[in-house]
Homo-oligomer: A and B are copies of this chain.
Amino acid sequence: MSTTKIINLKSRPSGKPTPANFEFTTEEVPTVDNGQLLLRTTYVSVDPYLRGRMNDVPSYVPPFELGKPIVSGVVAEVLESRHDGFTKGDYVTGSLAWKETQVAGAEGLIKVDPDQAPLSAYLGVLGMTGLTAYFGLTEIGKPKAGETLVVSGAAGAVGSVVGQIGKILGLRVVGIAGSDEKVEMLKSDFGFDAGINYNTTENMSKAIAAACPDGVDIYFDNVGGPISDAVLFNINKFSRTINCGAISVYNNTELPKSVSVQPFLVKNSSLMQGFIVFDYADKYPAGIKQLAQWLGEDKLTHTETVREGFDNIPQAFLDLFDGKNTGKMVVKI
């Protein structure tokens, strides 16, 4: 028997989460039953959507329980296997608890190959992040070469992949991010055609118009709020907005208000559609194959912010809401 550190949800945040919402504790690691695996956590993914699960409201995934561990995307090493599909030394990815060591069934776990790509990539460009970018842009955005794509949260995990896929598909790509450094990186590292720093831009609507002389055909929206309001004024007839996230309002304690979208949608015969990557679960293999091909061809850059140490997981999560990450935020254990 050994013990493991775990991180529980201690209290539900009101507004922005704080360290006080998390609780470090330990538990005994149980023995491995038939069909189960003993796993050592290697990388933990922290993601904005986890904020939603901290509220006690129904959503597409059930809320976290108080006093129970947080669960997110994890890459883990198999220390012991009592399942035919896995052997000691394999690496797997899936939704797992924030524990240093845990016993889990094999359901939902996918074996990953550390020789094909760095292990953390399976939490990013070859994982939920990359698939979110890929399916949102292609299935809802339905891009046609020559169109203009605007991406908000462009320097984030999903946004940076969206922009790169946009370039691969022949779009003009404009990114919106929160610092000059990020904007510069969008252009130099990810090949965006233009970038806008929303923290230093007085009139976002005009800045978007200037960066998009032919208007906006596709808007990949990771943020919601005032930035998305500003995009509305620039959408073209038959434009498509992909609602991937609304990080700018997730911490609001009052119901957020925005410019009414309805008149803009009517006037421009335009579409807005929300989604989560699980909606396209039946297409994951095709998506991963396409992304791995682009990664192998060096058409996709894999960008991540890596924090180290199990104890730093909560802070890494909190830092997402201050835009302290560039690309996918992961914690190496």
Contacts and interface: CB of A to CB of B under 8 A. Distances in A.
Interface of A: 52, 59-60, 221, 224-225, 228, 237, 243-246, 249-250, 255-276, 279
B224 A269 contact: no
Closest 9 CB pairs of A and B: A265-B274, A224-B262, A266-B274, A258-B260, A256-B260, A246-B262, A271-B273, A243-B265, A246-B263
A275 B269 CA distance: 4
Query: How many of these chains are in the complex?
Result: 2
A265 B272 contact: yes
A262 B274 CA distance: 7
B272 A272 contact: yes
Contacts of A268: 60, 274
Contacts of A263: 224, 246, 249-250, 256
A271 B259 CA distance: 18
A266 B237 contact: no
Contact of A276 (B225, B262, B266): B266
A273 B273 CA distance: 8
A257 B256 contact: no
Nearest to A221: B262
B224 A260 contact: yes
A256 B260 CA distance: 6
A258 B257 contact: yes
Given A263-B249, A269-B274, A276-B269, A258 B258 contact: yes
Contacts of A270: 273-274
Given A260-B256, A261-B258, A267 B59 contact: yes
Nearest to A275: B269
Given A260-B256, A272-B272, A272-B273, A266 B279 contact: no
Contacts of A250: 263
Nearest to A256: B260
A266 B243 CA distance: 6
